[in-house]
Amino acid sequence: MNARKIILAAIALGALALAAWRLWGGGEYEIVNAHPRGAHIIAFGDSLTAGYGADKGRDYVSLLSQRFGVPVLNKGRAGDTTAEALARLEADVLRQDPRIVIVFLGGNDYLRRGSVDEAFANLETIISRIQGQGALAILVGMKSPLGQYEGRYRALARRMGCPYVPNVMKDVLGNRARMTDATHPNNAGYAILAERIGDVLARHL
């Protein structure tokens, strides 16, 4: 085989590997709706998605829009539990022609000492309904002080075939230089969230 054929074969193998990596979420599991329908990227969550504590344009949703040069609809509502978010899923997400939905929820369930099983059942329902519309759901995970959340997020992402952002608040939560209060990041903290979420989102645009 001459050098030209070797180069062409290597390029073809590389393209196949990239396609498989995108389809299988980095090689761990198959992604549902890896080539999604729909028009809009939507961030669906609570006050961390709404951008509480950030200056205008410095929340993670705005930073994602700036990074990729596309609109990202902000459907964050302060205080929402997974149950409250599920109640508005139809109006705020499913009727908006979603293509990719970033699901970032669960913190308020923990703060209110709600049932962990109920929170993750709600998340599973939210993801299932998003996927049922042909959209890609990206799950954002957090680590709770007692450790019962991170493993559940990861297991849910695998089971539902979602790209996963692990422990998005790592080195942000508890770091006074990156937080505006006990639970909400400042501009510096949101920049880290945007980078971590954006790196996963970039694989699916």
Per-residue pLDDT of the chain (205 residues; tens, 9 = 90+): 565 554 444 444 444 444 444 444 455 799 999 999 999 999 999 999 999 999 999 999 999 999 999 999 999 999 999 999 999 999 999 999 999 999 999 999 999 999 999 999 999 999 999 999 999 999 999 987 656 788 999 999 999 999 999 999 999 999 999 999 999 999 999 999 999 999 999 999 9
Q: Same domain, yes or no, for 6 and 60?
A: no
Residue 3, pLDDT score: 54
Regarding pTM above 0.75, the answer is yes
Q: Same domain, yes or no, for 72 and 164?
A: yes
Residue 74, pLDDT score: 99
Q: Same domain, yes or no, for 15 and 85?
A: no
Residue 28, pLDDT score: 77
Candidates 169, 171, 172, 80; CA nearest to 126 is: 80
The answer to whether 133 touches 72, Cβ cutoff 8 Å, is no
Which distant-in-sequence residues (6+ apart) come within 8 Å of 140 by Cβ? 45, 102, 103, 104, 153, 165, 168, 197
DSSP code at position 53: T
Q: What is the domain range of residue 23?
A: 1-30
Q: Same domain, yes or no, for 53 and 94?
A: yes
Q: Same domain, yes or no, for 156 and 98?
A: yes
Per the structure, the count of domains in the chain is 2
Q: Same domain, yes or no, for 171 and 146?
A: yes
- Report the chain's terminal Cα–Cα distance, integer Å: 36
Count of CB atoms situated within 10 Å of the CB of 85:
27
* Single-letter amino acid code for the residue at 123: L
Q: Same domain, yes or no, for 7 and 56?
A: no
Q: Same domain, yes or no, for 8 and 96?
A: no
> Tell me, what CATH number does 83's domain have?
3.40.50.1110
Distance between alpha carbon 150 and the CA centroid of its chain, in Å? 14
Q: Same domain, yes or no, for 5 and 106?
A: no
The pair of structure tokens assigned to 198 is 């954006």
Q: Same domain, yes or no, for 14 and 115?
A: no
Element (H, E) at 44: strand 40-45
